[in-house]
Structure 1
Amino acid sequence: MRDFALAPATVQPLTGGLADSLFETAARNPTLPLIAHRSDPSSEVWEEITAVELRDEVVDLAKGLVASGISPGHRVAIMARTRYEWTVLSYALWTVGAEVVPIHPTSSRDQVEWILRDAGCVAVVVEDEQGVMTVGSVCATLKGLRHVWQLDAGALEDLAARGEFLPAATVDSLRRIVLPDATAVIAYTSGTSGRQMGCALSHRGLASPCDTLLAGWGHTAAPPGEQGRILAFLPFSHVYGLMIQGLCIRGGLLMGHEPDLSAQAMSSALRSFRPTYFYGVPSVFEKIYKNFLRAAQQSGRGALFERAAETARDFAAATERQRLGRGSGPGLDLRLQHAVYERTVYRRLRSAFGGRVGRATSGGSPLSRELSLFYEGIGIYVHDGYGLTETSGGLTMQPLGREKSGTVGQALPGMEIRVAADGEIMVRGPAVFQGYVHDRMATRAALWAGWLATGDLGRLDSEGYLTITGRKKDVIITNSGKSVAPAALEQRLRMHPLVHQAVVVGDNRPCVGALITLDPEFLAHWQAGLMMQGDASVREAREENALREEVARAIAAANSTVSRSESIRVFRLLPEPFDVANGLLTPSMKLRRDAIVERYAAEIDVMYQTRSRPSGSGVPEEPAGWDDSDNVFR
C-alpha cells in the first residue's frame, strides 16, 4: 500500500465544543453578520443576523431546552429542511451538551421510527404538520420519546419563553464542560443498501476538517477584504451540509439559508444573495450545464455555446498543464478566442450563480473532468471534494496553485490516505468517526488499527492526488467473470443532455447493460426541434426511432472510454426518474442500487432477452432560452 499525507495543519487545537466558536465570535466581533434568511421566499431582501444576535437566540433556546429536561448526552432529532431554525437548534443543543440526530424531512415512517429508536432520542423537532403526523404514527413504539416540537407552530418561541426564568450562566456552565471528544452528532448513513447505521461524530471530528480548510483555503471564499457569502441549500441532515454550516460559523462567513429547492426559489436566491462561493453535488453542476446548453439552443445560439464550451475546456486544460509544470499554457490564438467568449458568453454564464462566484466545491460523488474543465474555463474553478459520513465530511482538497481536475486533490493536512492492494481507499486522522452506535461488529469491521476502510475504490498518483473510481460493493461481475466499475460509465452517460440518470447493471449477466432516465426539460426541447411530418402515429414512430438513435449515440460515446468487454451492450429507458420520494435515491442524492435493481427486475430481464436485436446498443422502450440563463434550475 502507498500512503500520502500533507504536513500537519497549523490550527489551534479544539479545547471545548462546537458551540464555543459562536460565543467567541460574538465576544470578539459582535456586529459581524453570520446568518441571512428570507422570511418571504418571493422576496429578494435578506435579513442578516449578527453574531451577538445569533448567540443570544441560541442562549434563549438553550435555556428552554434545559427547562424542558434536555441534559448533556441526551439525543434530540431535527427533521427539517435547511432553514435558519436548524442552525439555532443545533448550536443550542451543543451548548447544553446534547447530541444532534439529523433526519431528512422526506424520510419514510419506517426510517423515522428506526432512527429515533436506534439513537434513543428523547425529543424530535419537526418542521410542519406532515412531520408531526409521521412521528405521531410511531410514537407508541418509542417509550423514551418525551417531546415533539413543531417549528411552524412556534416551537422555538415557546421553548425560549419556557426558559426565561433560568439565568444565562446555567447554560454557559453546561457549555464549558463539553469536551472535544464528546459526541456531537449521530449521523445516519445514506443507506444505499441495508439498514442505516448511526455514525457517532465528535465535536473534534466535525471541527477538524472545517478548521483545516479555513486555515489553508479560507481566503479563497471571497475576494480580498470581503466577507465570504455561501448559500446553504443542501440538507443539513447530511454531513456535507453540516460541514458547510460549520465552515460558515467557525470561519465568520455569511451563510444564507434556502430551504426551497424549486427552480424559482433557487434562481431568486442566487440572484439576490449573490454568494461568493458555491457548493453542490454533481447532479447540480450537470443540470446547470445542460440548462445553459438548452437555453442557448432555444435562442438559436447553440453552436455559439458549444464553441465557447470547447474553448473553455481547452483553455482550462492548457492552464492546468502550465500550473503543473507540464506545458507553456494557452497559446495566443486560444487566449484570443477565450477573451472573445469572456465578453460574449462566460460573463453571462457566471451571472447564473449571482455573478460573484469564483470557486466552488462538488461533493457526494465524482464530478467528471470534462465538466470541471468547462467551469474552470468560464471562470469558476469547481473543486471535486471527497469525504464520508464516517469522516465528518471532507478528506481532501486541491493544493492551491496546483489544482488537478479529474481528481479530488490531496489528503487534508492531518489526514492520511492509503490505497489497499484491492484498490480500496483507507483513511486515518482526527476526523474519523467514533464508531457505529449499538453495532460493535460493524465498527470493528470498518476500523483497522485506526484506519477506516471507506468502501470506495480509487488510485493515488505519484504526487498524492486521489482519483475516485467507484464503490467496492458496486463493482459488477458478468457471468464471464469480467469486473466492471459502473461509476465512470454512468458519469459519461449523464454528460449527454438527454440523459438525466443512469444505472449500469450486469451482475451474472452476459454483458453490461444500463437503465436510463431522461431529462424532462431537455426531452421536451429536443422533441420540439424534431418537426416530424405525417399523422400522429407516424410522427410518434419516427420520434421514437430518433430517440433510440440519440440515446444509442450517448452510449457509444460512453463506451469509447472503456474496453469492449466493459461496454454497455443493452439499455432500457425508464418512465420515471430515481428520486428520494420513490425510495430510489438517498437524501444525499446517491443511487440506491439494490432498490433500483429490485424495482426494475422485470425490465432488466426483458432488456437482456431482446439483446439479439440488430440495434447497435439495444432497443429502448417508449419513455413516458439563452436570455434566461440566470434561472439554472428549471
Structure 2
Amino acid sequence: MQTLIDLFNTFETLGDKTAFVNRTGVRRLVVSYREFHGLALKMASLLAQRGVEAGDRVLIWGPNSSWWAIAYWGIIIRGAIAVPVDFMSDQARADSIRNLTRAKTVLQSRFKPERMTVADSILLEDLQYLLEDVQPASGPAPAAPEDTAQLIYTSGTTGNPKGVILTHRNLIANLTQINRAVPIITPGFNFLSLLPLSHMFEQMGGFFTPLYRGAAIVYPRTLKPSAIMEALGEEDIYIIMSVPRLMQLLKTTIERELDEKHLSGLFRWMTRFAARLPKEMRRSLFLPVQRKFGPNFTAFVSGGAPLDQEVFNFWSSMGFTVLEGYGLTETSPVLCVNTIDRQVAGSVGPPMPGVQLKIENKEILVRGDNVFPGYYENEQASRDAFTSEGWFRTGDLGELDSDGWLAIKGREKDLIVTGSGINVYPDELEAVLNRVAGVKESCVIGLDKGGGEEVHAVLILDGSGKAPDEIISQANSSLDALHRITGFTLWNEPEFPKTTTLKIKKFTVKEELKKGPAADDSSVNRDSLLNLIARVTGVSAAGIREESLLVTDLGLTSIDRLELVSFLEQEYRLDIDDSQIGPQTKVSDLRQIITKREKLTRHDHFRFWTNNNFFSGVRRAWDTVFHTPLFRRFATLELHGTGNLEKLAGPVIFVANHLSYLDQPAVMFALPPEIRYRTASAAWEEFFFNDYHGLERILRRLSYEYASVLFNLFPLPQSQGFGGSLKFMGRLTDAGVNILIFPEGGHARDGKMQPFQLGLGIMVKELGIPVVPIRIGGTDQVLPHEASFPKQGKVTVTFGEPLRFRFEEPAEIVEQTRLAVERL
C-alpha cells in the first residue's frame, strides 16, 4: 500500500460492514462500507461538475460526520488536495486559509453560525440530497506516493499558523507504523471519534486506522459529557483517541456522580488498593464504572499535550489501558507511543518503527517517511524547520531514558527563562495548580519584566470562593523555590481560548494580558458568550447586558433557543437543555450555568417501551373490545386518499389540522392496522404536566399513563424543553415508528386552520423523513371543544401525497406543509 487510493480501493470489499454511525443528537444513522465507497465516487463526480481538477485545493470546514468523510475521500479520489479547517475556527481564519490556498471550492456546515460567503460553496449536510442524482466516477484518479494529499494548517497556539504539506507517502508511512506499533485494532470494533478530523492525531488514529482495519467509527454531534457517555454505553466502543483535557472532563463527570452517591471516599480507597492488582482484577473490581463504557471498551490513546499523572493513574487504576503518544502535524503525526504490554506515566513511549529520533541541545529531532516535505508556499519556514542533515526540528524539549523511551519536558517556545537563568516548564506548574482546590483551570506563561521573565499564572476559579492568593501560596508550597509562581491574573471568561484539541492558546492569552484593562466595547468583542447570543438573536453584542432577559429583551424565540443551546454545547462542551432557558433567564444566569456546569435534572415522561410488540398487541386488543366500538357509536368515518399510504416505504411524520380531542383517534382508526400500531402521537405536555395541584394533578397524571400506553402518546411541550421530545422522536424514527403531530398547537375554534408552529420545520429537518399531510373534518361537530360528551356525526380523514423536503429551511417546510393540508 503506497497511496490513499490503495486504501480506498479496499472499502468496497468490506461490503455491508458498518463504516460510520452518525449520532446527530436526534437520529442514529448508519453508513456501510459499500455505501461509503459509492458515495465517495459520487462526491468525486460532483466536484468534477463544480470544475475541480487534479491538484486543486478544496477546503472542508465542518464537524466530524460521515459526510465529512465522504467529502474528504471524494476530494482524494478526484486527485485534488484536501484542506481541512478546524470546525471551531472563526470565519476570519477560515477565510484566511481559503485565500492562502486559493481553494477552488468550499465545503462548510449549517451547524456553524458563521459561514463563508462563497458562491460555489457546498453545505456538508446537503450532500445526502445533492449526491442522489449524481452518477459515480468510474474510478479514482491515479496518485503517486510523492503527490500532495492534503494541507493542514497548524492550530496557531503560537499565533503563526503555517500550511503543512502531507503527501500520500507521509500518510501511508505513518498508518503502517501505527499498526505495527499498536496492533490492537481488528474488524468489528467501534471507535468513538471525539477530536476534530482537521487534527492529524484524530485523522490518523481515529479515521485512517479504523478504515484500514475495517472497523466502525461513531460520530457524536457534540462533545458534551452526557453525549459521550451515552455513546459509550450504547455503541460498544473499543477505543477513543483523546487529549488530556477530555480525559479530565470524563474523570470529573464520574467523580461528580460518585459525590452525589456519597461514594467518593470508598472510591479513593479502592483506587489505592487496586494499584497493586493485575489489570483484569482491577477491571472486575470497578465493574460498575466499566459498564458505563460498554462491554468491550479497552483503551484511551492520549496525545496533543502532556497527560497529567493523576489523570493517568485514575484511569489505569480501574483497569483501562492508557496509551500516551507524541507527534506533530508535520510528522503525520505520530512519532512515539506507549506499548500494549507496557505503559509508563509521564512517558510517551519509544519511537515507532521507521522513525529516527535524537535529542540535540534538549530539542527533539526526527527523520522518516512520515515527516513532511515542507510548508505550503513558505520556503523560509521550510528551510528553518530542518537541519542541514535533514532532521526535522520539532521545537519540543525532551529526554530519552536508558530504554530509549521519550519524556516530553515542554515546548521550546513555551519555556520560561527567569531572571536567574532558571528554566521553568509551564506544563509542570499547571499540573500542580490544577490540583489545588478552587482552581477550575490554569495557564502558566512567562511575562517579560525586563531582565528575565516572570512566572505568571492565569486562573479560572471554580466559584467555590477560595482566594486566588491562597491558591498561589498553596501551589508554591509544593514547588522548588526557583520555580515558584511570582504573579497571577484572573481570567474573566468561562474558558480559555483553545484549539479544537483543547490546548490553551497561550499566545492569545499573553496578548490579552499585554493589553491590560480593556474598554467596555473591546471587552464585549472578546466575550464568546455575548457573541454567540448576538449571532442567534441578531442583536449587537455591544447592546447585550448581563441583566438582559434572553426572551423578552433580546427576542429569543423557541427555535432560537434550540440553536443557541446547540452552539453553547459546541463551544463549551457542556450539558444544557433548552428547558433551562425560560422567560426570566438573564444573560448572567446563562453565564452562571456555563461557569458552574451544573448537572441538568430532567423529568423524563417518555415511554419508549410502549412501542414494543407486546404493548402494540395490548393496544390492538383494547381497541377491538373498547376504543373502536366506542368511536363507531358516535362517529361515521369517511376516508379519502388512502392510496397514498401504499407509497410509504419507511417511517413518516403524519401532519394534521386540529379541531377536537377526537382528532387523534380519528386519524389512528383511519390508518390501516399495520401502520396504526407503528405510530406514536405527540400530545401537549402542559395539558398533563403543568403546575396542577391536588386531585386535578393526580387525575391528569393518571390520564397520561393511560394515554401513553393505550393511545401511544408522548409529550411535546409548547413553551420550552422541545429538545428532549425531539430526541425521543429520533429514537422512534430509528425504530421505524411513525409520528402523528398537530402543529397548530391548539384546536381551531372556528374551523379555520391556525398557523403551524415553527417547531414542525425543525422536526422535519432533523428527522429527515417524509411528511404525509392529513385533513380532518367533522370532529368538532361530534365532540366540540367545550363539550363533555360526544354526539353522532360524520368524520372525514383525507390523506395527501407524501412530501419530501431536501434543501428547504424550517420556515419553508412549515409553510409548504400547511398549504398541503389546507388544499386537501
The equivalent of 2:380 in structure 1 is: 441
Task: State the secondary structure of the residue aligned to 1:385.
Answer: strand
Q: 2:513 aligns with which of 578, 594, 600?
A: 600
Task: State the secondary structure of the residue aligned to 2:413.
Answer: helix
The equivalent of 1:573 in structure 2 is: 490
User: 1:392 & 1:544 partners in 2: Cα distance?
Assistant: 43
Q: 1:73 aligns with which of 55, 58, 70?
A: 55
Q: 2:358 aligns with which of 398, 414, 418?
A: 418
Cα gap change, 1:249 to 1:109, in 2 (>3 Å)? same
Say if 2:225 and 2:253, in contact at 8 Å, map to a contact too.
Answer: no
Task: State the secondary structure of the residue aligned to 1:410.
Answer: coil
The CA deviation at 1:342 is 5.5
Q: 1:157 aligns with which of 129, 146, 151?
A: 129
Task: State the secondary structure of the residue aligned to 2:492.
Answer: coil
Say if 2:60 and 2:108, in contact at 8 Å, map to a contact too.
Answer: yes
- Letter of the 1:376 partner, please give it: S
1:37-52 to structure 2, matched below 5 A, reads: 37-38=22-23, 40-43=24-27, 46-52=28-34
Q: 1:54 aligns with which of 36, 42, 66?
A: 36
Per-residue displacement from partner, 1:111-140 (whole Å, max 9, x unpaired)?
A: 112100111101000111756x5311xx5x
The CA deviation at 1:405 is 2.3
Cα gap change, 1:342 to 1:183, in 2 (>3 Å)? closer
Cα gap change, 1:290 to 1:130, in 2 (>3 Å)? closer
Per-residue displacement from partner, 1:575-611 (whole Å, max 9, x unpaired)?
A: 32434xxxx2122322221211221347799xxxxxx
The CA deviation at 1:478 is 2.1
1:67-216 to structure 2, matched below 5 A, reads: 67-128=49-110, 130=112, 134-136=115-117, 139=118, 147-152=120-125, 154-155=126-127, 157-159=129-131, 161=133, 163-164=134-135, 168-169=137-138, 171-172=139-140, 174=141, 177-216=142-181
Structure 1 residue ranges without an equivalent (≥5): 1-13, 140-145, 320-334, 528-542, 606-622, 629-634
- Letter of the 2:151 partner, please give it: I
The CA deviation at 1:253 is 1.4
Q: 1:258 aligns with which of 220, 239, 244?
A: 220
The CA deviation at 1:160 is 5.3
TM-score normalised to the size of structure 1? 0.76
Question: Which fold has the larger relative contact order, with Cα–Cα distance below 8 Å and residues 6 or more apart in sequence?
Answer: 1
Say if 2:56 and 2:104, in contact at 8 Å, map to a contact too.
Answer: yes
Task: State the secondary structure of the residue aligned to 1:19.
Answer: helix
User: 1:273 & 1:498 partners in 2: Cα distance?
Assistant: 36
Say if 2:44 and 2:137, in contact at 8 Å, map to a contact too.
Answer: no
1:587-626 to structure 2, matched below 5 A, reads: 587-601=500-514
User: 1:392 & 1:342 partners in 2: Cα distance?
Assistant: 34
Cα gap change, 1:384 to 1:302, in 2 (>3 Å)? same
Cα gap change, 1:499 to 1:349, in 2 (>3 Å)? farther
Per-residue displacement from partner, 1:10-34 (whole Å, max 9, x unpaired)?
A: xxxx33x31332322423x323322
The equivalent of 2:8 in structure 1 is: 22
The CA deviation at 1:569 is 4.0
The CA deviation at 1:53 is 1.7
Per-residue displacement from partner, 1:162-190 (whole Å, max 9, x unpaired)?
A: x42xx642x44x2xx21121111100001
When structure 1 is superposed on structure 2, of 355-364 and 286-295 the one drifting more is 286-295
Q: 1:287 aligns with which of 237, 246, 249?
A: 249
User: 2:181 & 2:398 partners in 1: Cα distance?
Assistant: 25
Cα gap change, 1:446 to 1:342, in 2 (>3 Å)? closer
User: 2:486 & 2:259 partners in 1: Cα distance?
Assistant: 31
Task: State the secondary structure of the residue aligned to 2:217.
Answer: strand
- Letter of the 1:272 partner, please give it: E
Per-residue displacement from partner, 1:287-327 (whole Å, max 9, x unpaired)?
A: 22223223222322221122123334x337xx7xxxxxxxx
Per-residue displacement from partner, 1:248-295 (whole Å, max 9, x unpaired)?
A: 111211111123122332222222112011221100111222232232
- Letter of the 2:423 partner, please give it: S
Alignment of 1:427 with 2:392, yes or no, is no
Task: State the secondary structure of the residue aligned to 2:4.
Answer: coil
Alignment of 1:456 with 2:373, yes or no, is no
Task: State the secondary structure of the residue aligned to 2:116.
Answer: helix
The equivalent of 2:627 in structure 1 is: none
Say if 2:83 and 2:151, in contact at 8 Å, map to a contact too.
Answer: yes
Say if 1:22 and 1:51, in contact at 8 Å, map to a contact too.
Answer: no
The CA deviation at 1:624 is 9.9
Alignment of 1:505 with 2:445, yes or no, is yes
The CA deviation at 1:517 is 1.2
Cα gap change, 1:399 to 1:267, in 2 (>3 Å)? closer
Say if 2:61 and 2:109, in contact at 8 Å, map to a contact too.
Answer: yes
The CA deviation at 1:62 is 1.3
Tell me how many residue pairs correspond in the alignment. Answer: 519
User: 1:315 & 1:602 partners in 2: Cα distance?
Assistant: 51
Say if 2:397 and 2:409, in contact at 8 Å, map to a contact too.
Answer: yes
Task: State the secondary structure of the residue aligned to 2:245.
Answer: helix
Q: 2:298 aligns with which of 358, 369, 379?
A: 358
- Higher Rg of the two aligned structures: 2
Say if 1:479 and 1:507, in contact at 8 Å, map to a contact too.
Answer: no
Identity among equivalent pairs (%)? 26
Say if 2:458 and 2:488, in contact at 8 Å, map to a contact too.
Answer: yes
How big is the alpha-carbon RMSD for the aligned residues of Structure 1 and Structure 2?
Answer: 2.9
User: 1:598 & 1:208 partners in 2: Cα distance?
Assistant: 38
Per-residue displacement from partner, 1:86-128 (whole Å, max 9, x unpaired)?
A: 1011111111111110112232232112100111101000111
Say if 2:322 and 2:343, in contact at 8 Å, map to a contact too.
Answer: no
Moved over 6 A (4+): 602-605
Task: State the secondary structure of the residue aligned to 1:271.
Answer: helix
- Letter of the 1:236 partner, please give it: L
Structure 2 residue ranges without an equivalent (≥5): 519-594, 601-824
Alignment of 1:311 with 2:273, yes or no, is yes
User: 2:33 & 2:299 partners in 1: Cα distance?
Assistant: 25
Alignment of 1:240 with 2:210, yes or no, is no
The CA deviation at 1:351 is 3.0
The equivalent of 1:470 in structure 2 is: 410
User: 1:41 & 1:442 partners in 2: Cα distance?
Assistant: 42
